[in-house]
Chains A and B, each alone.
Chain A
Amino acid sequence: MTEMTMSEPGSAQNDLVLEIENFSVDYGWGDAAVRAVNNVSLSVRRSRVLGVAGESGSGKSTLVYAVTRLLRAPGIIAEGSARLTFDDPDGGTGARRTVDLMAASASELRAIRWSQVSIVLQSALNALNPVLRIGRMFDQVLKAHRADMTKVQRRQRAAELLELVGLGEDRLARFPHELSGGQRQRIMIALALALDPQLVIMDEPTTALDVVTQHEIINELAKLRARFGFSMIFITHDLSLLVELADDIAVMYAGNVVEWAPAGDLYATPRHPYTLGLLNSSPPLTGERRELVGIAGSPPDPSQPVGGCSFHERCDFVLERCHREVPALRVLDESGRKVACWLHEDGVSVPTPLRRRAGDDVPATMAAEVAP
């Protein structure tokens, strides 16, 4: 498998696994429609991890449910396209097939789901069937998608998958309620990997777990990905977790992608005021104790959209035009990173914290103080 060493968000590559273009999702019809995802374009490349960071209500989960056609009414895909490209199981070696997810029929979707795209949900207790033993769940998936496997083979494969996530074969006979939260989430991950999918979507898989278990699962995921080379979309509100795990990070705010950059760049040199605010909102574990301010105000109510940039009410560097005009996500520099902010337009002097370079030895938190 060829892996690109440089990450270039948005650049046209033929190794794209998922390509989302101008995607918008509404909840409700007509005048009552509330826009949850607004004109989002993102892509995931082979064997890469795209992290999607955002607070509750930012549209991050809605986006992936809509793209995978799992969104239920009153959620409506207003516009946009999403294409999934995967190794064609019926073609020869290297053959790739692209499916337009928006146009796919129910039977086409059924063939793709789980075997090409799988999803790990936040609450494993709710996502696992409480009346089935763990072994039965593996059995059902394999039976449905791998008709040629015998019962013994299915059982073997299930044990193998548990082994992958660090659990013993004895867990197959257990019910979900007999397992701890971390073990349940491992089962979810093993189930998601059961059919060797090309893309695994993780919707806040570790949010309900304590930090020790979270750290173990994140390390486990990194190992599995290195071994099997699947792509991943990892959704979370914890930006520092993404910096550890993801190759690229897209930050969402009020339904819009406001910044999309390689993980290291986003952490070291945030370019959107919201990203900077998020990074400053987590108290550090080392260094001197000092008062932090976070982000003033609260996230906007999607049913009462504000004019202009969705972040302008909470932004420290707000310009006059931010009240009126919505900034588009555009390429910022040669590296290909993108940001949706008027501060980076020609002729505007960028505030100090938002124009640091990677070499600067000032942590982002300190830079906020130096701001004019």
Chain B
Amino acid sequence: MNDALLEARNLSRHFVVRTGHGLIRPKRVVRAVDDVSVSLHARRVTAVVGESGSGKSVLARMLARIVRPTSGELVLEGVTIPPSAARSLAYASDVQLVLQDPFASINPVHRIRHSLERPLAIHATPPGEIESRMAAALSRVSLEPPARYLDRYPHELSGGQLQRVSIARALCVGPKVLLADEPISMLDVSVRLGVLNLLRGLCDDEQLAVLYITHDIASARYIADETIVMYAGQVVEHSQGTALIDAPTHPYTQLLISSVPDPHDPLHEAPEVQDRTGQGQFPAEGCRFAPRCPHAMDVCSHTAPPLIEVAAGHESRCWLHDATAVAITARGQGGTTSTT
């Protein structure tokens, strides 16, 4: 599968923040996204799952080139784009972003018509075509008849309808890649499936490559062809299909899955979380999940694990899947028990 439409190679984004109080405040580097590689293919939905602060939204914004990467490169249809290059109109028409909250991302003082007209005008659509392209975009997201919606104001539509408008706005410039950043988390439960089915349908029928970002691992399982779990700016587990959800190999993925409410097994215990570090705080050395990990070994505290292949098309960033690391730990533990 080398026909990636959009590929991110070793993308990183670091933010410098000042900490503490007073005049002399030390600088600290927050590694929001660290060395992440993703490739998006036509007719495939790639799901990125992670908690708040895991860097998934920064990743989407880098892919849309709204946030400039600190390092790494983007490859769009085989053309490499260096991190320093300015965002071009052509890129924007190929890669479109749909944001989480449609109430915030669609201008409330203008009619829907305005929100759809602007991108078309900016992307140099012949004036005669604008009306028909707007109607077509609304039809594609099942807002029919389009004429009924064009002259409405955002407050006259429900959240689900508004998110469809937001998707239509992204579609009307004819993108090849659709980046959807938590598109359903602000919507009512009863209309979420409708939007998910719409994304899946667009992906299959229009040859779109879709990046679906979510914190809801069950919805990722529902829609994804490829799944990525992010923790503290890194990819911790990656698999084709939803293998990592059905058979999670990274302790963080396991924690995530066991935390989802399960009516069949009320109040089941998730693995105990040992350390509670604040948001954005993780060790500078070793595995970033180690302080919370129930299986942490010595090696985890000083050496960061690489992505290790655990099955065909399934990688996990955990020393537990490295035979040497596990063997050394087992020997170490054996040694301590024999001396005591």
* A interface with B by C-beta (< 8 Å): 55-56, 179-181, 183, 210-216, 218-219, 222, 237-241, 243-245, 267, 274, 277-278, 281-286, 289, 291-296, 298-299, 301, 314
The smallest beta-carbon distance between A295 and chain B, in angstroms, is 4
Q: Given A240-B261, A291-B197 in contact, is the A212-B255 Cβ separation under 8 Å?
A: yes
> CB < 8 Å: which of B158, B191, B216, B218 contacts A295?
B191
Report the stretch among B144-152, B166-174, B266-274, B325-333 that lies at the interface: B266-274
Of the A-B pairs whose beta carbons lie under 8 Å apart in the complex, a sample of 9, sorted by A's number, is A179-B278, A211-B51, A212-B259, A215-B270, A244-B261, A267-B263, A285-B218, A293-B197, A294-B191
Asked if B192 is at the interface (CB within 8 A of a chain A CB), the reply is: yes
In the bound assembly, the distance between CA atoms of A56 and B189 in angstroms comes to: 9
Chain B residue contacts of A239, Cβ below 8 A = 189
Q: Given A222-B267, A243-B263, A298-B158 in contact, is the A181-B52 Cβ separation under 8 Å?
A: yes
Per-residue interface assignment for chain B, residues 212 to 226, with 1 indicating a CB less than 8 Å from any chain A CB and 0 otherwise? 000111110110000
Which residue of chain B lies nearest to A209 when distances are taken between CB atoms in the complex? B52
Chain A residue contacts of B216, Cβ below 8 A = 211
Which residue of chain A lies nearest to B196 when distances are taken between CB atoms in the complex? A283
Please determine whether A278 and B245 come into contact, CB atoms closer than 8 angstroms.
Answer: no
B24-67 residues at the A interface, CB under 8 angstroms = 51-52
Please determine whether A55 and B256 come into contact, CB atoms closer than 8 angstroms.
Answer: no
Q: Given A211-B259, A215-B259 in contact, is the A282-B161 Cβ separation under 8 Å?
A: no
B280-335 residues at the A interface, CB under 8 angstroms = none
Please determine whether B193 and A289 come into contact, CB atoms closer than 8 angstroms.
Answer: no
The smallest beta-carbon distance between B32 and chain A, in angstroms, is 16
> Can you add 5 more A-B contacts, CB < 8 Å, to A212-B51, A240-B261, A285-B218?
A211-B215, A212-B270, A212-B273, A218-B267, A301-B158
The smallest beta-carbon distance between B162 and chain A, in angstroms, is 10
> CB < 8 Å: which of A219, A244, A293 contacts B269?
A219
* B interface with A by C-beta (< 8 Å): 51-52, 158-161, 188-194, 196-197, 215-219, 221-222, 242, 245-246, 255-263, 266-267, 269-270, 273, 276, 278-279
Chain A residue contacts of B266, Cβ below 8 A = 243-245
Listed from nearest, the 10 A-B pairs whose CB atoms lie closest are A294-B193, A283-B222, A210-B51, A215-B259, A243-B263, A298-B158, A55-B188, A295-B190, A244-B266, A211-B259
Chain A residue contacts of B51, Cβ below 8 A = 210-213
Chain B residue contacts of A282, Cβ below 8 A = 189, 218
Please determine whether B191 and A298 come into contact, CB atoms closer than 8 angstroms.
Answer: yes
> CB < 8 Å: which of A237, A243, A299 contacts B158?
A299
Chain A residue contacts of B194, Cβ below 8 A = 294, 296
Please determine whether B218 and A284 come into contact, CB atoms closer than 8 angstroms.
Answer: yes
In the bound assembly, the distance between CA atoms of A201 and B277 in angstroms comes to: 29
The smallest beta-carbon distance between A263 and chain B, in angstroms, is 9
Which residue of chain A lies nearest to B279 when distances are taken between CB atoms in the complex? A180
The smallest beta-carbon distance between B192 and chain A, in angstroms, is 6
In the bound assembly, the distance between CA atoms of A56 and B221 in angstroms comes to: 25
Which residue of chain B lies nearest to A286 when distances are taken between CB atoms in the complex? B246
